């Protein structure tokens, strides 16, 4: 066991900033960085080398991010509007400055001179240092520094405007707080423990229940409300909740088209994918088309089954059947099909996953598998941004002194007003080697929105929530257990179409019988899931998998199409038409759903395909290495060494080869999805 009385060698950050602090510290960091860049830009050519340019830039970049990243994080989690606004403003300043800094010709010239001098001197760099040089030079070219001055100035203006538009979109996304209201009769079928958590009010003598657009509130309406009109209204409200973002998305796409054209790329998608595993937009198109071709017949068969279920239910109630499979029918009949074909009741399964049990057990599983230990910091000693947030020190298993320290982790698990509304992990500080030779240790924060306790039940997690939690903890450990020389390669700083693969692989644990037994405990009896229930949960994994992945493909194809087209169109019409065609569901009244597609401004532009693309690697890693014994710490250590430790310090295919003992292939993925070992057309 690790000695958890040890004191960490690095203090945790203090979350006690005022709005004034946030802006003051950000401005100071920008000024310091600008002065640093001035010095680099003025270096005589003969004094430009690896240490004076590349290493100095890497260290300064890390120091700047160490200040800016935590300050920009407040906008996602702070209960104070004043702090959120200041944080958002600080990020605008940081992003604008980032555009300016990326366009400095003098610094780019220093990098080019340093590279030439390194070659001339015959200096040997290690692999990660060589990668740093290559990436920094490529950045300059991608930033447009080879362009004439007029185009560079235009480009800088476009990039700053794009940054502002994306930030405004994200701010609206985080602060959305709309509701849709129903009577108790209209909510018939929705579990009582969910309904009891809704805000109840009286209007015109009628009792109404306010349903927010947060996942724990509205998704049970989609899944359980017997009244199709209730589900339709919930869908239309959810779909239109961010119509304010529609013009912002159109503007962002126009700016991206202009930037790509200035930089000489055929499309924005080609620009984005150049630095990913897939390399170009054509590769993405081929991958998605191939997958759609395989999924479509599967999805059509599944839709027929669910339509028959709909007809049967409506006929039994004496209601008319319209022959349509609507989007608000999908989650409802998918759930009914699983309940009827497997006798699996999602709300019953939920009773076995109280948050107070599941969270510690998942942490325990990860600790055992990856040979680390979590030590919760007492509330009175922990500095956090909200009183419910848990803070942990993370130590190496068997740590005897401070060298066994791994980093810090925060868990912010429950919904509240104006908090980021999904589940995600923020790598607040990277780990890397300081110029002193010592190490900076990483800090990761997981933000989620698990259901809160209700008057008659503790906080319970659906199995879906358990899978999501397991997935996000995968990102946390990628951030904690990476060990690179440079901050820019740390943890999840890998190609965007690989970043989800480690976490997707870890989702498999949530479908393993012995793991399900270990992390379940009925909230009243404390008994684990029975073998019968576990078998049903495992069988449910690939039920209606065709329709599920066709929905994912719709998002990916919308994202790709808007980033390969070279002229604007009606994106609301495109959103609705594409969804109907690809997802095989009728959409009803066309809604501006693209306004809530946060990924498209949050770093997954021309990159949503990556969620499915990386599943190929996830399936291969699990089937090849972990399937035989998913809880074996020796395999966990191999995973740490080959996948987590290198982060982005080498090509992702190299990490995969080291872990798998061969290049990756798609056999496991195809077998899992379709029961076949045929390969996809996508080059891996």
* Angle (deg, nearest 10), helices 545-564 and 281-316: 140
Q: Give the DSSP H/E element, type plus range, for residue 140.
A: helix 127-142
Is 208:181 a contact under the CB 8 Å cutoff?
yes
pLDDT at 354: 97
Q: Residue 480, Cα to own-chain centre: how many angstroms?
A: 16
Residue 535 in tokens: 């078998």
Alpha-carbon torsion 118, 123, 129, 134, what sign?
A: positive
620's CB contacts (< 8 A; 6+ apart) are 656, 660, 664, 665, 666, 667, 668, 669
Instruction: List 208's β-bridge partners, or say none.
Output: 201
Instruction: Classify burial at 100, counting beta carbons within 10 Å of its beta carbon; exposed 0-12, middle 13-18, buried 19 or more.
Output: middle
Alpha helices in 240-267 (DSSP H): 246-263
Taking residues 176-184, what's their average pLDDT?
Answer: 96
Instruction: Classify burial at 366, counting beta carbons within 10 Å of its beta carbon; exposed 0-12, middle 13-18, buried 19 or more.
Output: buried
**pLDDT tens for each residue of 236-263:** 999 999 999 999 999 999 999 999 999 9
472 is known as an active-site residue: yes
**pLDDT tens for each residue of 358-372:** 999 999 999 999 999
pLDDT at 2: 64
Residue 194's alpha-carbon distances to 178, 188, 280, 457, 488, in angstroms, are: 18, 12, 45, 10, 43
* Residues 393, 495 within the same domain: yes
pLDDT at 489: 98
Backbone angles phi, psi at 445, to 5 degrees: -125, 125
Q: Give the DSSP H/E element, type plus range, for residue 107.
A: helix 105-121
Confidence of residue 317 (pLDDT cuts 50, 70, 90): very high
418: left (phi over 0), alpha (psi -120 to 50) or beta: left
The end-to-end CA distance of the chain, in Å, is: 41
> Is residue 676 assigned to a domain?
no
Taking residues 459-466, what's their average pLDDT?
Answer: 94
> Is residue 138 assigned to a domain?
yes
> Is residue 633 assigned to a domain?
no
> Is residue 237 assigned to a domain?
no
Full residue range of the structural domain in which residue 200 is found:
176-227
Confidence of residue 428 (pLDDT cuts 50, 70, 90): very high
* Angle (deg, nearest 10), helices 81-102 and 19-41: 10
Instruction: List 390's β-bridge partners, or say none.
Output: 411
Residue with tokens 């989702």: 507
> Is residue 256 assigned to a domain?
no
**381: pLDDT strictly greater than 50:** yes
pLDDT at 670: 85
Confidence of residue 172 (pLDDT cuts 50, 70, 90): very high
* Residues 187, 96 within the same domain: no
Cβ-based neighbour number of residue 134 at 10 Å: 11
Residue 598's alpha-carbon distances to 75, 167, 172, 249, 495, in angstroms, are: 15, 11, 10, 10, 19
Taking residues 386-390, what's their average pLDDT?
Answer: 96
Is 666:616 a contact under the CB 8 Å cutoff?
yes
pLDDT at 676: 52
Q: How far apart are CA 235 and CA 218, in angstroms?
A: 9
* Residues 85, 220 within the same domain: no
Q: How far apart are CA 600 and CA 252, in angstroms?
A: 9
DSSP label at residue 190:
S
pLDDT at 682: 36
Residue 311 in tokens: 């007809």
**677: pLDDT strictly greater than 50:** no
> Is residue 682 assigned to a domain?
no
* Residues 418, 477 within the same domain: yes
| Last residue within a domain, chosen from 500, 518, 534 | 500
**pLDDT tens for each residue of 546-563:** 999 999 999 999 999 999
**625: pLDDT strictly greater than 50:** yes
* Three-class SS state of 512: coil
Cβ-based neighbour number of residue 49 at 10 Å: 18
Backbone angles phi, psi at 104, to 5 degrees: -85, 110
* Residues 366, 492 within the same domain: yes
* Residues 85, 136 within the same domain: yes
Q: Catalytic: which of 186, 351, 472, 672?
A: 472
Q: How far apart are CA 330 and CA 586, in angstroms?
A: 10
| Last residue within a domain, chosen from 447, 479, 500 | 500
* Three-class SS state of 275: coil
> Is residue 388 assigned to a domain?
yes
**pLDDT tens for each residue of 114-150:** 999 999 999 999 999 999 999 999 999 999 998 999 9
Is 197:452 a contact under the CB 8 Å cutoff?
yes
Q: How far apart are CA 443 and CA 406, in angstroms?
A: 9
Q: Note the pTM of the prediction, 2 decimals.
A: 0.86
Q: How far apart are CA 500 and CA 613, in angstroms?
A: 9
**678: pLDDT strictly greater than 60:** no
Number of domains in the chain: 3
* Residues 488, 378 within the same domain: yes
* Three-class SS state of 153: helix
pLDDT at 347: 87
Confidence of residue 441 (pLDDT cuts 50, 70, 90): very high
Is 644:502 a contact under the CB 8 Å cutoff?
yes
**481: pLDDT strictly greater than 90:** yes
Instruction: List 445's β-bridge partners, or say none.
Output: 410, 426
* Residues 191, 128 within the same domain: no
**681: pLDDT strictly greater than 80:** no
**pLDDT tens for each residue of 503-535:** 999 999 999 999 999 999 999 999 999 999 999
**pLDDT tens for each residue of 630-669:** 999 999 999 999 999 999 999 999 999 999 999 999 899 9
Cβ-based neighbour number of residue 399 at 10 Å: 18
* Residues 81, 188 within the same domain: no
Alpha helices in 416-512 (DSSP H): 463-481, 501-506
Residue 212 in tokens: 């927010």
Q: How far apart are CA 351 and CA 460, in angstroms?
A: 6
Provide, rounded to the nearest whole percent, the portion of the chain with pLDDT above 70.
98
DSSP label at residue 454:
B
**CATH number of residue 79's parent domain:** 1.20.1050.40
Query: Mean pLDDT over all residues of the chain?
Result: 95
> Is residue 245 assigned to a domain?
no
Alpha-carbon torsion 261, 267, 270, 271, what sign?
A: positive
* Residues 180, 136 within the same domain: no
* Residues 68, 135 within the same domain: yes
Q: How far apart are CA 61 and CA 430, in angstroms?
A: 11
Backbone angles phi, psi at 645, to 5 degrees: -60, -45
161: nearest Cα among 75, 96, 101: 96
* Residues 92, 198 within the same domain: no
pLDDT at 455: 86
Residue 226 in tokens: 């017997």
Residue with tokens 């760099």: 125
Residue with tokens 């005897």: 400
| Last residue within a domain, chosen from 206, 227, 248 | 227
């Amino acid at each position: 066991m690790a000695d958890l009385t040890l004191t960490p060698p690095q203090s945790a950050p203090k979350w006690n900033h005022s709005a004034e602090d946030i802006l003051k510290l950000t401005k100071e960091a920008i000024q310091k960085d600008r002065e640093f860049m001035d010095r680099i830009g003025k270096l005589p050519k003969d004094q430009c080398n690896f240490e004076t340019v590349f290493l100095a830039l890497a260290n300064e970049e890390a120091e700047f991010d160490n200040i800016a990243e935590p300050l920009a994080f407040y906008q996602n989690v702070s209960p104070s509007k004043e702090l959120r606004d200041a944080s958002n403003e600080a990020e605008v300043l940081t992003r604008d400055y980032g555009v300016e800094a990326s366009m400095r010709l003098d610094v780019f010239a220093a990098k080019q001179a340093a590279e030439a001098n390194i070659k001339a001197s015959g200096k040997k760099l290690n692999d990660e240092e060589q990668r740093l040089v290559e990436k920094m030079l490529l950045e300059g070219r991608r930033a447009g520094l080879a362009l004439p001055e007029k185009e560079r100035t235009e480009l800088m203006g476009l990039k700053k405007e794009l940054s502002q538009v994306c930030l405004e979109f994200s701010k609206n996304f985080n602060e959305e707080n709309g509701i849709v209201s129903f009577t108790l009769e209209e909510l018939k079928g929705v579990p009582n423990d969910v309904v009891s958590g809704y805000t109840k009010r009286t209007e015109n003598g009628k009792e109404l229940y306010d349903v927010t657009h947060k996942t724990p509130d509205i998704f049970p309406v989609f899944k359980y409300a017997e009244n199709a009109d209730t589900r339709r209204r919930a869908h239309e409200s959810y779909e239109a909740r961010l119509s304010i973002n529609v013009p912002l998305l159109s503007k962002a796409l126009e700016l991206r088209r202009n930037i790509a054209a200035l930089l000489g790329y055929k499309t924005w998608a080609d620009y984005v994918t150049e630095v990913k595993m897939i390399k170009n937009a054509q590769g993405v198109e081929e991958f998605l088309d191939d997958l759609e071709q395989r999924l479509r017949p599967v999805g059509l068969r599944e839709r027929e089954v669910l339509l028959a279920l709909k007809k049967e239910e409506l006929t039994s109630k004496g209601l008319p059947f319209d022959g349509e499979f609507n989007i608000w029918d999908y989650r409802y009949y998918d759930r009914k099909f699983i309940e009827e074909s497997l006798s699996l009741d999602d709300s019953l399964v939920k009773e076995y996953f109280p948050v107070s049990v599941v969270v510690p057990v998942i942490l325990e599983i990860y600790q055992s598998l990856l040979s680390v230990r979590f030590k919760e910091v007492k509330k009175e000693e922990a500095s956090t941004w909200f009183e419910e947030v848990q803070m942990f020190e993370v130590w190496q298993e068997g740590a005897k002194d401070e060298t066994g320290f791994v980093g810090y982790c925060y868990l912010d698990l429950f919904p509240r007003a104006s908090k980021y509304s999904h589940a995600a992990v923020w790598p607040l500080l990277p780990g890397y080697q300081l110029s002193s030779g010592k190490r900076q240790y990483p800090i990761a924060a997981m933000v989620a929105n698990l259901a809160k306790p209700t008057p008659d039940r503790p906080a319970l997690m659906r199995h879906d929530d358990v899978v999501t939690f397991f997935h996000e903890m995968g990102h946390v450990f990628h951030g904690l257990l990476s060990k690179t020389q440079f901050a820019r390669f740390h943890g999840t700083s890998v190609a965007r179409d690989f970043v989800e693969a480690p976490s997707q692989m870890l989702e498999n644990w949530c479908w393993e019988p012995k793991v399900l037994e270990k992390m379940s405990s009925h909230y009243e009896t404390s008994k684990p899931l029975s073998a019968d229930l576990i078998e049903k949960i495992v069988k449910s994994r690939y039920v209606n998998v065709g329709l599920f992945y066709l929905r994912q493909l719709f998002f990916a194809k919308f994202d790709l199409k808007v980033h390969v087209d070279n002229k604007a169109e009606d994106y609301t019409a495109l959103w609705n038409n594409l969804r109907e065609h690809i997802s095989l569901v009728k959409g009803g009244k066309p809604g501006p759903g693209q306004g809530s597609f946060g990924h498209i401004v949050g770093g997954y532009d021309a990159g949503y395909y990556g969620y499915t693309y990386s599943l190929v690697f996830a399936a291969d890693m699990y089937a090849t290495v972990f399937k035989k014994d998913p809880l074996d710490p020796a395999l966990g250590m191999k995973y740490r060494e080959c996948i987590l430790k290198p982060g982005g310090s080498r090509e992702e295919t190299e990490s995969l080869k080291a872990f798998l003992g061969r290049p990756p292939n798609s056999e496991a993925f195809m077998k899992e999805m379709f029961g076949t070992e045929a390969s996809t057309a996508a080059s891996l």
